Structure 1
Amino acid sequence: MSMNLSSPQPLGPLSVGNVVSASLRVYRDRFKLYYRLAFIGYLWVLIPIYGWAKFSAMIGLLSRLVFTELIERPETVDQARSHVMPRMWNFLLAGILVALIVFGASMGGVLIFGILAGVLGAILGQSTASVVVLILLGAIALIALIVGYLWLVARLLIVEVPLAIEDNVDATSAIGRSWKLTAGYVSRIVLIFTVAFLISIPISVAIQVATLVIQVVLAALFTRGSALFVLLYYVLVLGLSFAGGSLLIPFWQAIKTVIYYDLLNRKEGLGLQVRDSYPQ
């Protein structure tokens, strides 16, 4: 299906390629604005708690701006901020809750795996055949853990997007919205993010190479481990990380928002949602 973001009608269900293409197009068209907002958001990270909440809200702000571009009712930054910033602490809370859910589920899976491995080891003994069986079962369990982790992350992937866009949504209900919208589309979401990850690799590699260059240059100019070396290294690397992250975050938020747009269209009818939230 061909993509045309300038069409006056809402787009139909999107293919994986369409989702990535639409995200790249919106990101490209608003690159300077999104980069500036992302960089400002990163600066807030330096301030504990309040700054983290501001950063979380800035991520939501990017999602709202992308969504309004997709539905061709673009908002100014001030308009979008007036909706997003009052929910600043909800964005932080949602992020904390998602992290706790993923961490708890991961630790639970590892604990269950450890218990089963111990029980099977005690039952099967230490013969060569038993070791082979345990290794095979361990490999299967590891694959199951990875699949389960990806499934859970996919279900909670777009939590901040409905929080930034929909009315009467808080941190917990945003998690519920993500869970509801992503049901049945996990494999598709994982595929989209795999493609997006491959696209982002050059930027990540460039950041790593630049970090290595900084370390080599500073080591040639200053004594490694000296106070000046450490100070310059961390300042430069932090600045580079912020600059690189500011390139990637708008791209990932565009991906998430287009996924949300597509799921909303598929499951609930985008037109109704748009009328409710954005009156003519």
Structure 2
Amino acid sequence: MPKKNLSSSGPTGPLSVGNVVSASLRIYRDHFKSYFSLALVAYLWLLVPIYGWAKYSAISALISRLAFGEVREKPETVSDARREVNPRMWSFLWAGILTFLIFLGVSLVGGIAMFFVGMGAGALFGQNFTLVAGFLLVAVIAFLIIYIRLFSRLLIIEVPLAIENNIGASSAIGRSWKLTKGSVGRIQWIVFVGILVSLPITIVVQILTVIVQVVLSKVLGAESGLFYLVYYIMIVGVSIGSGALVTPFWQAMKAIIYYDVRSRKEGLGLQMRDR
């Protein structure tokens, strides 16, 4: 696949969905060993509560910073990038918690709203279950649209936090919200294509899970305690491996989206606020 110079693409218009996805794959391919190793360590840290979660968040952001350097054609070494990212380790965790709380709040509000819509439709249409179901379907679709748009606006939170100076967890949320304004539709398509690219790995993991379960149940017996222990260990291993395989692709994609929206809105070449 021939290289496309993304560093000169910003002023001429937004990168296409295909450009973003293909560039993410290319960067990941060119640095597979390094990025996969980082992602594998990050997923192992997830097994350690709180501190490990912060480490996972920081390492994931580290991959995005490294990918961003590749897009700008100003690559960093892992050690140099780590020195910049590690001091904000707890900010990455706090940003993740704030994002979770935002989505939780939206989910609760959406659930309550759909409950009242259902109650109102029931009172209005009585036993006409078709109309009630239709109203509920419209409410669910509206909620999904809002949820997906919110996801698109908050997709790149960790990237500015990993790259820009004088920014904290809450500021990173604001930066993501500001930079993605006007690009939501395109980001949604990028995410959709990214899911399609990641889908084969998901399918393989599901197949492996079934195979492991069937083989272990025949060898150890489905009711034995040893079966559950070995099955859990193997599934955790498969999950960690598959997650580590996919994560660098998504982190690189976030870095390219960040580069694209920021270069068009602020002009990366004029004044970079990198540390």
TM interval, short-chain normalised: over 0.9
In the alignment, residue 25 of structure 1 is paired with which amino acid? R
Q: Whole-Å Cα distance in 1 between the matches of residues 3 and 83 of structure 2? A: 31
Shift of 1:134: 1.4
Give the structure 1 partner of residue 140 of structure 2. 142
1:254 and 1:221 map into 2 onto residues whose CA distance is: 41
Q: Deviation of residue 59 (structure 1)?
A: 0.7
Shift of 1:3: 5.4
Partners of 2:84 and 2:143 in 1: CA distance: 38
Among 259, 262, 273, the residue aligned to 1:261: 259
Tell me the residue number matched to 2:227. 229
CA distance in 1, matches of 2:43, 2:219: 29
Counterparts of 1:31-180 in structure 2, within 5 Å, are: 31-126=32-127, 128=128, 131-180=129-178
CA contact (8 A) 1:10 1:271 kept: no
Amino acid in the other structure paired with 2:185: S
Identify the residue that residue 244 of structure 1 maps to in structure 2. 242
What letter matches 1:148 in structure 2?
I
Where in structure 1 are there 5+ consecutive unaligned residues? Answer: none
The amino acid across from 2:268 in the alignment is L
Deviations, residues 151-202 of structure 1 (Å, cap 9, x unaligned): 1111111000100111111100000000001111111100011111111111
Question: In the aligned structure 1, how far is the partner of 2:88 from the partner of 2:223?
Answer: 43
CA RMSD of aligned residues (A): 1.4
Amino acid at match of 1:180: K
CA shift at 1:121, angstroms? 1.5
Amino acid paired to 1:56: S
1:160, 1:94 → 2: CA distance? Answer: 8
Deviation at 1:116, TM superposition (A): 2.2
> Contact between 1:19 and 1:259, CA under 8 Å: does it hold in 2?
yes
Residue of structure 2 in register with 1:15 after alignment: 16
Q: Write the letter of the residue equivalent to 1:4.
A: K
In 1, distance between residues paired with 2:73 and 2:199?
A: 30
Asked if structure 1 preserves the Cα contact closer than 8 Å seen for 2:27 and 2:67, the reply is: yes
Distance 2:196 2:158 in 1: 23
CA contact (8 A) 1:10 1:270 kept: no
- Larger mean CA deviation between 30-39 and 216-225 belongs to 216-225
Return closer, same or farther for 1:52/1:204 CA change in 2, 3 Å cut-off.
same
5+ unaligned residues in a row in structure 2: which ranges?
A: none
- The one-letter amino acid paired with 1:91 is F
Could you list the runs of 4 or more consecutive aligned residues of structure 1 that deviate by over 3 angstroms after TM superposition?
A: none
Q: Which secondary structure state, in structure 1, belongs to the residue aligned with residue 49 of structure 2?
A: coil
Q: 2:274 maps to what in 1?
A: 277
TM-score, normalised to structure 1, is 0.93
Compared CA separation, residues 273 and 240, structure 1 to 2 (3 A): farther
Work out which of the residue numbers 181, 184, 188 in structure 2 matches 1:183. 181
Structure 2 equivalent of residue 4 of structure 1: 4
CA contact (8 A) 1:162 1:177 kept: yes
**Percent of residue pairs bearing the same amino acid type:** 52
Please give the TM-score of this superposition, normalised by the length of structure 2. 0.95
Counterpart contact for 2:117–2:135, Cα < 8 Å: no
